[in-house]
């Protein structure tokens, strides 16, 4: 069985606390011996102050685990302060959060794949594991395809699925990644597909591993039959998070 880490890009921002919290009680509560769920945060909040969400915080640039499934990274949660050296490049700290989380996983955990999502996504964990067991163990960089400026292909950040070798390659190019002026998902795609040429979308990458249900109502909500659709982009619809979880629990317990 393939071993997978689900990395949930969580946030300290108060506007997202409802969807941040519900990840723990819906898909994040699923128990599977081959899946490790990690919610990762920066230690500085949206006001660039140290958070009081956690009793212990890492040094700047460091990482600590708070229990089994919370990773705290010594960086900013979403944006860099105006006097930070990287603010002049791009005022977004999620690049740094992402690459440091990947590096920590490589150094500390055994896994075949990493499925990185944001906290407005829902993962059907049992369906995900069944799908992953059918795939190659290398050269997987999958999710929702995007094309930037008719030049760079990349996978959208709410659903980035990578095999361990791809994670390793990205971490090996950490300096280039952090020097990029692009957002995290585009910066990763540029390195993996254009700078190194390691990934080709025509090989193992598919564009059917996600489903947007933002505009659906609870009454019409249903589980997608396609075996590769295991990630649902829900955004701020707490009612949909709960209803989808009920449907999946009912299916799994049938």
| Predicted confidence (pLDDT) per residue in 125-155, tens digit | 999 999 999 999 999 998 888 888 878 888 9
247 DSSP β-pair partners = none
pLDDT, average across residues 111-138: 94
Average pLDDT, the chain: 91
What is the domain range of residue 163? 4-253
The whole model's pTM is what?
A: 0.94
The larger pLDDT score, comparing residue 17 to residue 147, is at 17
CATH number of the structural domain spanning residue 130: 3.90.550
Which pLDDT score is estimated for 214? Answer: 65
Number of structural domains in the chain: 1
The larger pLDDT score, comparing residue 163 to residue 228, is at 163
State the virtual CA torsion across 172, 175, 176, 181 in degrees, nearest 10: 140
Which pLDDT score is estimated for 56? Answer: 97
Residue 21, CA distances (Å) to 8, 151, 155 in order: 12, 37, 26
DSSP state of 51: -
Distance CA 228, CA 245 (A): 18
Helix (H, G, I), strand (E, B) or coil at 106: helix
Q: At what angle do helices 238-253 and 17-25 cross, to 10 degrees?
A: 10
Q: pLDDT digit string (tens) for 146-194?
A: 888 878 888 988 899 999 999 999 999 999 999 998 999 999 999 999 9
Residue 114, CA distances (Å) to 7, 96, 147 in order: 7, 17, 22
Which pLDDT score is estimated for 152? Answer: 87
Q: Are 163 and 137 in contact (CB under 8 A)?
A: yes
């Amino acid at each position: 069985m393939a071993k997978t880490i689900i990395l949930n890009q969580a946030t300290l921002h108060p506007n997202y606390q409802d969807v941040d919290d519900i990840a723990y009680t819906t898909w994040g509560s699923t128990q599977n011996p081959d899946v490790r769920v990690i919610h990762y945060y920066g230690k500085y909040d949206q006001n660039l102050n140290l958070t009081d969400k956690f009793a212990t915080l890492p040094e700047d640039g460091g990482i600590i685990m708070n229990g089994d499934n919370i990773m705290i990274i010594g960086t900013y949660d979403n944006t860099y302060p105006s006097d930070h050296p990287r603010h002049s490049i791009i005022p977004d700290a999620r690049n740094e959060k992402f690459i440091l989380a990947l590096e920590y996983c490589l150094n500390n955990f055994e896994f075949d794949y990493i499925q990185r999502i944001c906290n407005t996504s829902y993962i059907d964990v049992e369906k995900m594991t069944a799908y992953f067991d059918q795939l190659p163990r290398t050269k997987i960089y999958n999710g929702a395809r995007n094309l930037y400026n008719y030049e760079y292909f990349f996978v959208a950040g709410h659903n980035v699925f990578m095999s361990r070798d791809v994670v390793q390659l990205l971490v090996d190019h950490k300096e280039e990644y952090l020097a990029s002026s692009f957002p995290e998902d585009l910066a990763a795609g540029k390195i993996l597909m254009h700078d190194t040429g390691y990934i080709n979308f025509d090989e193992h990458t598919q564009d059917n591993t996600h489903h947007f249900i933002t505009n659906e109502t609870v009454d019409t909500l249903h589980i997608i039959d396609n075996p590769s659709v295991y990630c649902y982009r829900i955004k701020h619809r707490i009612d949909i998070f709960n209803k989808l979880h009920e449907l999946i629990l009912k299916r799994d317990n049938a």
